[in-house]
Amino acid sequence: MIIAIDGEASTGKSTQAKKIAEKFNYNYRDSGAYYRAITLYLIQNNISSNSNINQNILDKIDVKQKYENKKLSIYLNDVDVSGKIRGYKVSTNVSNYAKKPEIRNLVYKQLRNSDRSNSLVIDGRDIGTVVFPDATFKFFLCADSKVRAERRHKEINDKAVKLELIEKEIKYRDNTDSTRKVAPLKKADDAYEIDVTLLTIDQVFKKILDKIDSK
Ligand code: DC
C-alpha cells in the first residue's frame, strides 16, 4: 500500500507522514529530502541550477534515506546530511534545482525503487499526481502562508531569523513549485484536501485516519 501526502511548503506533511508510519508500522520516504540532498551536492560543487546537469555528474550523487526508531536520516555519499539539508541556503535554492527533469528522474528512480516489502508513506509535491498515481490514499495539505510561516518560525526558535523572511521563502517556493513545467505542485483530482490553517497536528491526523478507516 502507498499513502501519498502532497501539499504546499510547511504544511506539516512530514509530521503527518511520520505519524502514519509510526501508527501502522509502515516505511517512510521524504521525497523533498532527496531534492534537498541533491541540491546540497550541486551547491557544494559549484554546479548552478542554470547549467546542464549531465549523467556524469548525476552518477556521482548517491542519496540514501534510513527511517529507524521514528527518526529519518539522510545520507549524501555516505555522509549524514540530515541537518544540513534544512538550512537556509538549500531551502532557498532547492526549487530551482527541482525544476530540472534530469534531477526529477533521478529522484523518481529512487522513490520507485524504495523497499516495498512493507507499506510506504511518502510526502512531497507530485507523489499522487506523477510518482505513484495509483497510490491507495492521497492527501493534499494546504494552509494560509502567514500561519505556515508563524509555525515554522516557532519551530526554528531563533529571533535572528525574521518571520517575514520565512514567509517570503515559503511563498517563493510554492510559486516556483506550482508553476514549473514538469510535475508541478497541484492537488491530484482524487486527493483528499485538508486545509490545516486552523487545525492542530492531532486534528489533521484524525482527519487522515478517518479517511483511511472509511475505505
Ligand atoms: O518537502 P520539502 O519542503 O522538504 O521539499 C523541498 C523542495 O523539493 C520543494 O520546495 C520542491 C521540491 N520537491 C519537489 O519538487 N517534489 C517533491 N515531490 C518534493 C519536493
SS3 string, 84-133, reads HHHCHHHHHHHHHHHCCHHHHHHHHHHHHCCCCCCCEEEEECCHHHHHCC
Residue 168's alpha-carbon distances to 92, 116, 145, 175, in angstroms, are 10, 38, 9, 11
What is the chain's pLDDT, residue by residue, as a tens digit (215 residues)? 999 999 999 999 999 999 999 999 999 999 999 999 999 999 999 999 999 999 999 999 999 999 988 899 999 999 999 999 998 899 999 999 999 999 999 999 999 998 888 999 999 999 999 999 999 999 999 999 999 999 999 988 888 889 999 999 999 999 999 999 999 999 999 999 999 999 999 999 999 999 999 97
What pLDDT sits at residue 30? 97
Q: How far is the CA of 63 from the centre of ligand 1 (A)?
A: 15
Compute φ and ψ for 78, nearest 5 degrees: 70, 10
Q: Which atom of ligand 1 is nearest to the CA of 14?
A: 1
What is the grid cell recorded at 34? 532527496
What is the grid cell recorded at 140? 493534499
What pLDDT sits at residue 215? 78
Instruction: Tell me the residue type at 132.
Output: F
What is the grid cell recorded at 51? 547549467
Instruction: Tell me the residue type at 96.
Output: N
- Half-sphere exposure (Cβ direction) of 184: Cα atoms closer than 13 Å: 8
Q: What is the CA radius of gyration of the chain?
A: 17
Over the range 165-188, which residues count as b (16 or more CB within 10 Å of their CB) and which as e?
A: ebbebbbebbebbeebeebebbbb
CA 48, CA 65: separation in Å to the nearest integer?
25
CA 8, CA 99: separation in Å to the nearest integer?
16
**What residue has cell string 534515506?**
65
The domain 2-213 having CATH identifier 3.40.50.300: the answer here is: yes
| Strand ranges in 31-154 using DSSP code E only, listed in sequence order | 63-68, 71-76, 79-80, 120-124, 137-142
pTM: 0.96
What pLDDT sits at residue 162? 93
Residue 140's alpha-carbon distances to 60, 68, 93, 151, in angstroms, are 33, 25, 23, 18
What pLDDT sits at residue 84? 96
Nearest CA to ligand 1 atom 11: 95
Do the Cβ atoms of 31 and 74 come closer than 8 Å? Answer: no
Pocket test for ligand 1, best of 63, 85, 93, 94 (most atoms within 8 A of CB): 94
The residue ranges of every structural domain in the chain are 2-213
What pLDDT sits at residue 39? 98
Q: Any residues with Cβ below 6 Å from ligand 1, and which?
A: 9, 31-32, 35-36, 94-95, 98, 124-127, 173, 177
